[in-house]
A and B are shown apart, each in its own frame.
Chain A
Amino acid sequence: MATVVKSYEPTFRDKLYIPALFQGLMLTFKHMFKKKVTIQYPDEKHVPPEGYRGLHRLNKYPDGRIRCVACEMCAAACPAHCIHIVPEPSPWEEGKERYPVRFDIDLLRCIFCGFCEMACPEKAIELTEIYDFADYSREGLWIDKAGLLEIYELTKTQNYYTVPNDE
């Protein structure tokens, strides 16, 4: 036998419903005059909080060398299989002996989960705060190594959206 446990016994007032209805109406009415949260997007831009997972970037060392060593850990961790890397022995004398000759991300497949960032042993791939990168074609949303490095240049020193838009 199941026991019915009533956590709440409605009072007579509750059973009338009308006062509750009015309460509800008053609540929404009050909210009508509250401050609006809408951001008028193209005119003003939302600055995402720290830790926002937007467009990827590939980091560089201060001397300009790409950090990525093409270990493909990001590709292995990627649940959407959107990262495609072609590794090659690096042309540099010093440092890590492997680098990506191609590094493509299919942004249409990407789910921006950030696993790649977590899997990266070299802190090479990171997700930036950039969220508006829509395009008119599928090809346009296939970002390559040059593109990812460019994103790094755009975001390495400051937040993308706090920079005055002068492009």
Chain B
Amino acid sequence: MPLIKIDDREIEVEKGITVLQAATAEGIEIPYYCYHPALSIVGSCRMCLVEIEGMPKLQVSCNTSIGELPPERKKDGKYDMIVRTQTEIVKRERENVLEFLLLNHPLDCPVCDQAGECFLQDYSYKYGRAHSRFLEEKRVRKNEYLGSNVIINHNRCIMCTRCVRFTREISGTNELFVQARGDNSKISIFEDKSLDNLLAGNVIDICPVGALLSTDYIHKNRFWNLEEKKSICTDCSVGCNILVYSQNNRIFRINARENHSVNGYFICDIGRYGFHRYEDAEKVTSPLIRSDGGFKPISWEGALKEIYEQFSRSKDGEKHQIVGIASPFHTNESLFMFGRLMDNIFKDKSIIGKLPFIEDYEIHFDSGFRISKDRSPNRQGLLDFCLNLEDEILQKVKTGKVRLCYALDDGVDRKLDEEWESFFKSQRFLVVQTYAMTPLAKLAHLILPGPSPMEREGTMTNDQGRIQWLKPSVSLTNKTRPDWEIIMEFMNTVGKRELKYSSVNEVNLEMGERFPSYRGMTFFKIGYQGLPKKNIATSRPSEGGQAGNTVT
């Protein structure tokens, strides 16, 4: 392990990492533009120059790797490298580079969406000089559309070429290139292409200035107005880590969050712009009961009473009378509660299944980034918690006399095929737990309002068995309640239990008690990065005090 010294700090670092990485890890700020950990190093911005003892020139710290020196050549007897980031020369150099970068920069921060999270702003403030010495006219170019969602503002571009390298190295689609040379060079797109690959939105994220802009967010808001929440994407079973930016309970944009076990630095555009679906959806804000061909609002108490009456009337000994339709779009906590409801409350009378998935093709990128073909976020959890899940439920219930059904709805982007439609239509009483007026909800006799995916809280298990915490990005409104709470009320009402979980964390703890592979997967433990599921076989758990196989 080489021992290096950066400014006054002694740091022991891994061999082969760069000075910039070592300094950043240690919390010493070295400014940079063109460097990005996921991309190749070009060293062209010249912002990260540092002074290294024994080197005649200033060195670009992003491309200077740290090696081990033989004992007799160690600096000061023990260091493998002595780096200085705060000397006069380095400071002057940063000033000069910033001056060059700002020569043709329009300084239109007031209209720039990047303002507030712009490295050009930050570094100018920290390291730049206050005045411009450039007397001539600035270079002015028109904005261009690179793709349907990306606009480039050439005037703001500092030619770091992160975006070009992204399309070459990460998306592998090669849409972007640098056109012309010298002062005339600009980021451009090949004439026969457009920047519409499924990772295109990431170039907006990685652009250190306001050159690449999202048409979805342009001129909508200002960065400092937005509230940043760390969450995970629920648009496919990869479970990418995201940052959700909202103001006044309205989501404005979604950015990628770094998690090397899941998605690296990037997210796909499906997840990035997916939140719009929930904006357009017709929301369910209160329990609704069918009346006169339509729905009318009803209180929670009334809804639960109705459920009790309908479900207790069915206790006439018939087998498989109650069907539960689970959904892989829900959190582990909700599915755990649902599994408990079906397995233990209705016991032998119930069967539990799920709606069929509409499969998409799986998308792989050269860099290893993938978009799973399973577009539901939590099938793994569904399989774990709804243990006697029937895949061929439709075949089974056709012969049975199912007349009561409790369904968790998949959400706005799922269609219902005819077979299922006729099944649901044949129900004497159909309770649907949903957040929007989906085709399924429209068939219901009673609709219970739950949270939309952006409002849910709990754990999700991705297709690699990694348990991640889904944090609500916006808060619950109106009369909607958390999914697990609705199911708990259901259990208390129909099953005469007295469950009193006050938060999703308590459900999570209970879930861990019953399912050892999920034991201890609390938010405090898994944090914002998630943890892989424990590899412990799960047997069917039962409610305490009941006969049956207990879980150790």
Contacts and interface: CB of A to CB of B under 8 A. Distances in A.
Question: Quick check: do A and B touch in the complex, using CB within 8 A?
Answer: yes
Interface of A: 69-73, 76, 87-89, 96-98, 121-122
A76 B219 contact: no
A121 B106 CA distance: 13
A72 B223 CA distance: 10
A96 B224 contact: no
Interface of B: 108-111, 115, 143, 218-222, 224-225
A122 B110 contact: yes
Given A87-B219, A87-B220, A89-B218, A96 B225 contact: no
Contacts of A121: 109-110
Contacts of B143: 97
A132 B53 CA distance: 69
| Ranked 3 nearest A-B pairs via Cβ | A71-B110, A98-B111, A98-B219
A73 B111 CA distance: 10
Contacts of A71: 109-111, 115, 222
A70 B219 contact: yes
Contact of A76 (B108, B109, B111, B222): B222
A89 B110 contact: no
A87 B221 contact: yes
Given A73-B110, A96-B111, 13 more contacts: A70-B111, A70-B219, A71-B111, A71-B115, A72-B225, A87-B220, A87-B222, A88-B220, A89-B218, A97-B143, A97-B219, A98-B110, A121-B109
Contacts of B218: 89
Nearest to A121: B110
A98 B112 CA distance: 9
A71 B218 CA distance: 12
A122 to B, nearest CB: 6
Identify the interface centre among B109, B143, B218, B219: most chain A CB within 10 Å of its CB. Answer: B219
Contacts of A72: 222, 225
A111 to B, nearest CB: 21
A96 B219 CA distance: 11
A100 B219 CA distance: 10
12 contacts: A69-B111, A71-B111, A71-B115, A73-B110, A87-B219, A89-B218, A96-B111, A97-B143, A97-B219, A98-B111, A121-B110, A122-B110
Nearest to B220: A87
Contacts of B220: 87-88
Nearest to B116: A76
Contacts of A73: 110
Contacts of B110: 69, 71, 73, 96, 98, 121-122
A71 B109 CA distance: 8
B223 to A, nearest CB: 10
A89 B108 CA distance: 14
Nearest to A122: B110
Contacts of A70: 111, 219
B253 to A, nearest CB: 14
Nearest to B153: A97
